[in-house]
């Protein structure tokens, strides 16, 4: 059967732009690309603990068997959501199959027709896809810019009247996946409170990384009671799969009734949910591991400064560090040089990031040798400045 010519043309355009995506084949290189910040995905003790967790409960089911509203709401879900809510000091937690599902489900269902959503211009694709499905109007503000957000809040708040009431939602992340930077969250919370806006915060890349217990930026700053909803995902710092929306009990009930990505999908298996549960248990006792990661983040920033690489890097206090190397061909060449030396570093190409903002995305881990961070940066410096 002939492949459609329009699709073939789009593939050829990507090929011509040196931007065609392909599934990678991993070699035996030092990991600077995965989101497994604490090493939980490869933690054998956690793996065994999940088996024990299910054995104690005599749970020998391989799949959820259906959506959670039909037959898939096994008891491990209830137990795990309770633990997540307690850990994050939230009234409720509702597990979704992935961070993508959680963001698409939330933003397509919660803001209503006539409402307004203001979102950071660098918000993740899953948030943007949710906005496209929403009946609300959406407008972006400059990245991490409270002044720009304030201007939009003032504009839309001034249009609200008793006869024309609508809700204003503000969407942002605490750690941005392609920059690794963080917003001035306290200031943005104050702006939302002043203008009676509902703040929604994605903590995907903060969970397991930020805070003494890896609880995320919101709790580290003690802002959890002042935020309408939080989205936490488990495929990064927790090393497993799934996500949860944190908020009020009313929000959970609403999502169960109206979030299509929750309603119309088979639930996670008991094993997948048990892995989330055990990962949270481990997180509460892994301060040493979290500290090891945070120490490497400090070391990374110190070495970037020592080697004069600061102009290239987006400043980050997270596990994600990005060196801007404009041009798909150039950034691919530099990445291949690093990979040939044994470092698993991935280039991020346009159109994933805007043209001219192509970059090397370097992820740190609690298990990364300090000398490997130095060696990587020294090689990067020599590759760029030779």
* The residue count for the chain: 386
The token duo for 47 is: 């793996």
Q: What is the structure's pLDDT at 352?
A: 87
> If you search the block for the tokens 């992935």, which residue do you land on?
98
Q: Are strands 168-173 and 198-202 parallel, antiparallel or unpaired?
A: parallel
What is the spatial distance between Cα 355 and Cα 122, in angstroms, rounded to a whole number? 14
Nearest to 383 by CA among 351, 354, 341: 341
- Each of the 386 residues of the chain gets a pLDDT tens digit; together they read 999 999 999 999 999 988 888 888 777 899 999 999 999 999 999 999 999 999 999 999 999 999 999 999 999 999 999 999 999 999 999 999 999 999 999 999 999 999 999 999 999 999 999 999 999 999 999 999 999 999 999 999 999 988 889 999 999 999 999 999 999 999 999 999 999 999 999 999 999 999 989 999 999 999 999 999 999 999 999 999 999 999 999 999 999 999 999 999 999 999 999 999 999 999 999 899 999 999 999 999 999 999 999 999 999 999 999 999 999 999 999 999 999 999 999 999 998 899 999 999 999 999 999 999 999 999 999 987 65
Burial (Cβ within 10 Å: 0-12, 13-18, ≥19) of residue 150? middle
Residues 6+ apart with CB under 8 A from 273: 74, 76, 77, 80, 95, 242
Helices (H), 59-124: 75-87, 99-109
**């990364």: which residue's tokens?**
368
Q: Which of 345, 324, 352 shows the shortest CA–CA distance to 21? A: 352
CA distance 140 to 138: 7
First to last CA, the chain: 50
Q: How far apart are CA 165 and CA 364, in angstroms?
A: 46
Q: Residue 22's pLDDT is what?
A: 87
Helix and strand numbers (H, E) in the chain are 14, 13
Which pair of structure tokens corresponds to residue 201?
């915060």
Angle at Cα 103 formed by Cα 169 and Cα 168, nearest 5°? 5
Of 289, 311, 269, nearest in space to 366 by CA: 289
Instruction: Read off the tokens for 181.
Output: 């930077």
Neighbours of 39 (CB within 10 A): 20
pLDDT digits (tens, 9 = 90+) for 7-60: 999 999 999 988 888 888 777 899 999 999 999 999 999 999 999 999 999 999
Alpha-carbon gap, residue 210 to 319, rounded angstroms: 9
CA 291 vs. chain centroid, Å, equals: 20
Q: Residue 36 to residues 268, 293, 366: CA-CA distances in angstroms?
A: 20, 11, 9
CA distance 345 to 337: 10
pLDDT at 317: 95
Beta bridge partners of 92: 247
68 DSSP β-pair partners: none
At 195 the pLDDT is 97
As a whole number of angstroms, the distance between CA 185 and CA 284 comes to 24
């Amino acid at each position: 059967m002939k492949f459609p010519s329009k699709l073939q043309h789009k593939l050829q355009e990507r090929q011509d732009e040196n931007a065609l995506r392909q599934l990678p084949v991993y070699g035996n290189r030092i990991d600077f690309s995965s989101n497994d910040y604490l090493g939980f995905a490869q933690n054998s003790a956690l793996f065994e603990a999940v088996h024990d967790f299910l054995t104690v409960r005599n749970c020998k089911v391989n799949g959820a068997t259906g959506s959670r509203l039909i037959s898939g709401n096994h008891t491990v879900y209830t137990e795990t959501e309770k633990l997540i809510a307690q850990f994050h000091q939230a009234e409720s937690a509702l597990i979704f199959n992935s961070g993508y599902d959680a963001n698409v489900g939330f933003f397509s269902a919660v803001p209503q027709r006539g409402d307004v959503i203001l979102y950071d211009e660098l918000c993740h694709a899953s948030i943007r896809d949710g906005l496209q499905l929403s009946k609300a109007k959406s407008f972006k503000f400059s990245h991490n810019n409270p002044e720009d957000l304030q201007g939009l809040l003032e504009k839309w708040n001034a249009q609200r009247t008793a006869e024309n009431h609508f809700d204003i939602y503000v969407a942002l992340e605490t750690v941005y996946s392609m920059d690794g930077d963080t917003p001035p969250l306290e200031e943005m919370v104050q702006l939302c409170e002043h203008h009676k806006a509902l703040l929604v915060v994605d903590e995907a890349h903060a969970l397991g990384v930020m805070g003494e217990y890896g609880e995320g930026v919101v709790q580290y700053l003690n802002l959890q009671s002042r935020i309408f909803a939080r989205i936490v995902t488990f495929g990064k710092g927790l090393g497993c799969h799934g996500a949860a929306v944190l908020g009020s009990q009313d929000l959970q009930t609403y999502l169960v009734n109206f979030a299509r990505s929750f309603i119309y999908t088979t639930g996670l298996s008991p094993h997948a949910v048990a892995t989330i549960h055990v990962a949270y248990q481990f997180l509460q006792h892994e301060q040493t591991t979290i500290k090891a990661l945070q120490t490497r983040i400090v070391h990374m920033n110190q070495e970037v400064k020592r080697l004069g690489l600061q102009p290239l890097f987006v400043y980050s206090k997270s596990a994600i560090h990005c060196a801007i190397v404009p041009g798909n061909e150039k950034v691919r060449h530099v990445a291949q040089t690093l990979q040939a030396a044994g470092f698993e570093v991935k280039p991020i190409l346009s159109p994933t990031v805007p043209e001219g903002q192509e970059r090397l995305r370097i992820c740190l881990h609690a298990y990364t040798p300090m000398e490997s961070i130095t060696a990587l940066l020294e090689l990067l410096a020599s590759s760029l400045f030779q």
